[in-house]
Chains A and B, each alone.
Chain A
Amino acid sequence: MSVTENAVDHMSSPSAGEGPVEKPAGGGRRGGRGITDKGMNRFFWILLIVLGLTAPAYMYPVFAMQLMCFALFAAALNLLLGYTGLLSFGHAALFGGAAYITGHVVKVWGFPPLPGILAGTLFAVALGYVMGALAIRRRGIYFTMITLALAQLVYFLALQLPFTGGENGLQDIPRGHLFGFIDLNQPLAMYYTVFAIFMIGFLIIYRAVHSPFGQVLLAIRENEARALSLGYDVSRFKLMAFVLSAGLAGLAGSTKAIVFQFASLTDAHWQTSGEVVLMTLLGGMGTIFGPIVGAVTVVALQHDLASAGSWVQVIIGGIFIVCVLVFRRGIVGELLRLVRRG
């Protein structure tokens, strides 16, 4: 029973020896028979780029953009949850907060979309710094609860501050012109802009994970005490991971505000925090491509079931329960396991 375990043992890793563990940089087995991790990675990269470039041909662009925003959001969360072993239940505040700031900067102050997105992202970085600096003072569940409490604080601020529009949110945010001449009201222009932003964000995550920095994060996840004893400033690394994750979650939120032309309370609600955790879990936490797969699955599901009203919530909750009970590796995590066995 978990009560008996030493705190340090289970706090350092969400997978605790059981969950999904992607082999670190280098792509795992080389020269083995059949498909390798590296091969899988390459397959996913090609799939991602091809699908990303061609999506508008067979998909409603706004829907594809929604997928990418949430995929980036989930991938940002995964940096913390999957690679550092920290469960934040407050990421919606970063996502939604950035959306509000972008909306305000673009709509009220009249800035072009890019500075707007930048402002939103910087806000998320700052907010993430504060949230992270406070939350990393505690471990495990306490960490999670502090992020949740702070996010609730942001939510109620968003509800009550004059510039957020309260229950209505910020509406009619203009898309404007990128670099002054690309009209983002053109669906394709908007789509490829979002795709570019998504790829930049995702590459940042990919690089961070496959770098010495990412290795230290993994070390913290696997055994925090040992990482500390090896001389790593664990708190600093955790904070850096939190801020990076916050910034990217903010980038996703800001982009979403421009795409959908509104910022609403839903974005900052704690259930959104929960949904993004579900995306990461369903896709496979601690795998690079897992959150993307998870986000696409969950958003598509919500989209298809939109007519079913609150049944969506029941189904999402049900998936959550099943995932947690029997499917902790997630889709990509299970795939990787099959590949490694084969």
Chain B
Amino acid sequence: MMHASIDLILAQGMLGLNNGVFYAMLSLGLAIIFGLLNVINFAHGALYMVGAFVALICYSYLGAWLGLAGFHIDFWAALIVVPLVVGCFGIVIERTLLRWLYRFDPIYSLLLTFGIALVLQGLFSNFFNMSGTPYPGQPAALRGIVDLGFMIFPKYRLFVIVFSIVVCAGTWLFVERTRLGSYLRAAAENPDLVKAFGVNVPRMVTLTFAFGTALAGLAGVLAAPIYSVSPVVVIGGMGSIMGAIVSGLALGLIEGVTKVVYAPASNTVIFVLMAIVLLVRPSGLFGRAGE
């Protein structure tokens, strides 16, 4: 009996971890954008959705649109193509819209991204009434299940967990350990000084925004075959990069475990946690002091 309930908690924990990696990728993107641009990207959830839909379009519709029967971009290619597409979209947003608001109060940027989120959501529900359309492109290699000892787990979900953790870790290494990453950290600290050293900060801002949105797009591709998370608004991503990753994972885990202990509370517990995090440790991207 005891054994069974521990298994249950472990099983829910794994499912929670599965959600957690999505939260982690999304809040990582948010954290990077917030750190350099001081913008809370309300459109992040919408861009994630865009990622999922672009993956679907690539697989199911693109061939027909181009008049090439049988042509499609499969899942593996989509993992590269879709983040690029969404990232380019991010560049457009930053260059044409966000750029003009940096000199004003950050709440205007927040409201702008809120407007973008509304437009994207509206457009997608207009053009693509496919919220219920399953993504057919799940690769054969990832179908089926694996036995983890304490539970049987779908291969695909395991792949998602491993892949996302690799992406998150890679991003962390990039920011913390590379030369370009150090420019990024410096610019978050003091953009004018970094500019004075001859670094093209506006371009860096653009690329950072693009990278953050690309992460959202990538999460969208990964989610397309399973639809496991519905990102209303992800309010995390205000802590450090590591904080964003860890808190995203923790969020998923706690949500999963709460489902076992007291299911109805699993939604509310997320926001309780977020409020607590915001109140107790609202430090900036690279551990700047909170306000």
Please give the residue numbers on chain A whose beta carbons come within 8 Å of chain B beta carbons, in ascending order.
Answer: 1-4, 7, 10-11, 13-16, 18-19, 87, 134, 137-142, 144-146, 148-150, 152-153, 156-157, 159-160, 270-271, 274, 277-278, 281, 309-321, 323-325, 328
Which of chain B's residues 76-123 have a Cβ closer than 8 Å to chain A?
Answer: 97, 100-112, 114-123
Residues of chain A lying within 8 A (CB to CB) of residue B205: 1
Question: Complex formed: what's the CA distance from A139 to B126 in Å?
Answer: 38
Query: Does B7 touch A at the CB level, under 8 Å?
Result: no
Residues of chain B lying within 8 A (CB to CB) of residue A13: 105
B43 to chain A, nearest CB (A): 10
A291 to chain B, nearest CB (A): 15
B interface bracket (residues with beta carbon within 8 Å of A): 35 or more
Instruction: Say whether B233 contacts A321, CB under 8 Å.
Output: no
Nearest A-chain residue to B125, judged by Cβ: A310
Nearest B-chain residue to A281, judged by Cβ: B111
Query: Does B140 touch A at the CB level, under 8 Å?
Result: no
Nearest A-chain residue to B278, judged by Cβ: A146
Question: Complex formed: what's the CA distance from A10 to B110 in Å?
Answer: 14
Residues of chain A lying within 8 A (CB to CB) of residue B106: 2, 10, 140-141
Knowing A321-B97, A321-B116, A325-B101, the reply to whether A142 touches B267 (Cβ < 8 A) is no
Residues of chain B lying within 8 A (CB to CB) of residue A309: 126
Instruction: Say whether A153 contacts B272, CB under 8 Å.
Output: yes
Residues of chain A lying within 8 A (CB to CB) of residue B233: 148, 152, 270
Knowing A4-B190, A157-B268, the reply to whether A328 touches B108 (Cβ < 8 A) is yes
Instruction: Say whether A156 contacts B116, CB under 8 Å.
Output: no
A146 to chain B, nearest CB (A): 5
Between A and B, how many residue pairs show CB distances below 8 Å? 162
B236 to chain A, nearest CB (A): 9
Instruction: Say whether A311 contacts B122, CB under 8 Å.
Output: yes
Knowing A2-B103, A274-B118, the reply to whether A153 touches B112 (Cβ < 8 A) is no
> Shortest 10 CB-CB distances between A and B: which pairs?
A317-B118, A320-B115, A313-B122, A314-B122, A317-B119, A156-B267, A321-B115, A153-B271, A149-B275, A149-B274
B153 to chain A, nearest CB (A): 28
Residues of chain B lying within 8 A (CB to CB) of residue A152: 232-233, 235, 270-271, 274
Question: Complex formed: what's the CA distance from A315 to B118 in Å?
Answer: 9
Contact with B118, one of A281, A320, A328 (Cβ below 8 angstroms): A320
Q: Tell me which of B8-16, B33-41, B143-151 binds A.
A: B33-41
| Mask: chain B, 175-196; 1 = CB below 8 Å from A; 0 = not | 0000000000001101110000
Knowing A134-B275, A142-B282, the reply to whether A18 touches B115 (Cβ < 8 A) is no
Which of chain B's residues 135-184 have a Cβ closer than 8 Å to chain A?
Answer: none
Instruction: Say whether B291 contacts A274, CB under 8 Å.
Output: no
Knowing A142-B278, A142-B291, A149-B278, the reply to whether A3 touches B188 (Cβ < 8 A) is yes
Residues of chain B lying within 8 A (CB to CB) of residue A328: 104, 108
Knowing A2-B103, A145-B238, the reply to whether A324 touches B268 (Cβ < 8 A) is no
Instruction: Say whether A146 contacts B115, CB under 8 Å.
Output: no
Contact with A317, one of B37, B101, B104, B117 (Cβ below 8 angstroms): B117
